[in-house]
Amino acid sequence: DAGITQSPRYKITETGRQVTLMCHQTWSHSYMFWYRQDLGHGLRLIYYSAAADITDKGEVPDGYVVSRSKTENFPLTLESATRSQTSVYFCASSEASTGGKAFFGQGTRLTVV
């Protein structure tokens, strides 16, 4: 199916474990983004990528790692999960020419216990 998909939709993990959230888009958009959504903070940018093999930090990158070996995939890894990383994570993509019009996945609800 065309679009942007995230997996898993729900994940419970233990403190200290490594966990990877997956994001796949079928449009070949240049830009991809990871946001986290928390009550009182809206959406905050974790990392973004302007193209394959090009990534850069956003507002809250600490504790996260990303890679973009292929244009369509942009996985987000929590190297050693902490309770403060309990959140809803959204992946998004956009084309360079659209100046901010982004398409969002359905989100991954991550709980760190």
Partner 1 sequence: GDSVTQMEGPVTLSEEAFLTINCTYTATGYPSLFWYVQYPGEGLQLLLKATKADDKGSNKGFEATYRKETTSFHLEKGSVQVSDSAVYFCALSGTNNNAGNMLTFGGGTRLMVKP
Which residue ranges make up the site for partner 1 (CB under 8 A)?
31, 33, 35, 40-45, 48, 50, 56, 58, 90, 92, 94, 96, 98-107
Let me know: does 23 contact 6? Beta carbons within 8 Å.
yes
Closer residue to partner 1 in complex, CB, 78/92: 92
Q: Which of 54, 66, 48, 57 is nearest to 102 (CA)?
A: 48
Let me know: does 66 contact 55? Beta carbons within 8 Å.
yes
* CB 15, min distance to partner 1, A: 27
Closer residue to partner 1 in complex, CB, 14/40: 40
Closer residue to partner 1 in complex, CB, 45/65: 45
Q: Which of 41, 61, 45 is nearest to 94 (CA)?
A: 45
